[in-house]
Amino acid sequence: MLVTLARNARRRRERLDISLDELAARCGYPTIYLRDVEHGTAESPRRGFLDKLATALDTSIDDLLTDEPPVLRVIQGGRSAA
């Protein structure tokens, strides 16, 4: 769970083009804790933190904790269709 949360939180933050400092301001947690979350080294986060993180990242807790399916590329005529 922590690895999935780390990966998804960082990807989402980067998609929104916000810094860790800005995310910290949005969700009310220290930057260093958020860095630990993104590195997968934070203690198991509590529900309240996950709620605030998901809101700050404009997503859901489920999206933060769910593995994304692998991206499949379809090859047609020797070219990638992706």
Q: What domains can you pick out in the chain, each with its CATH number?
A: 2-65 (1.10.260.40)
Both tokens of 37, joined, read 């979350």
Q: What is the DSSP letter of 80?
A: E
| pLDDT tens-digit profile, the chain (82 residues) | 789 999 999 999 999 999 999 999 999 999 999 999 999 999 889 999 999 999 999 999 999 999 875 555 566 665 555 5
- Both ends of the chain: CA-CA distance in Å? 29
pLDDT score for 8: 94
Residues 6+ apart with CB under 8 A from 50: 61, 64, 65
DSSP-derived 3-state class of residue 75? strand
Full-model pTM = 0.79
Contact 66, 11 (CB under 8 A): no
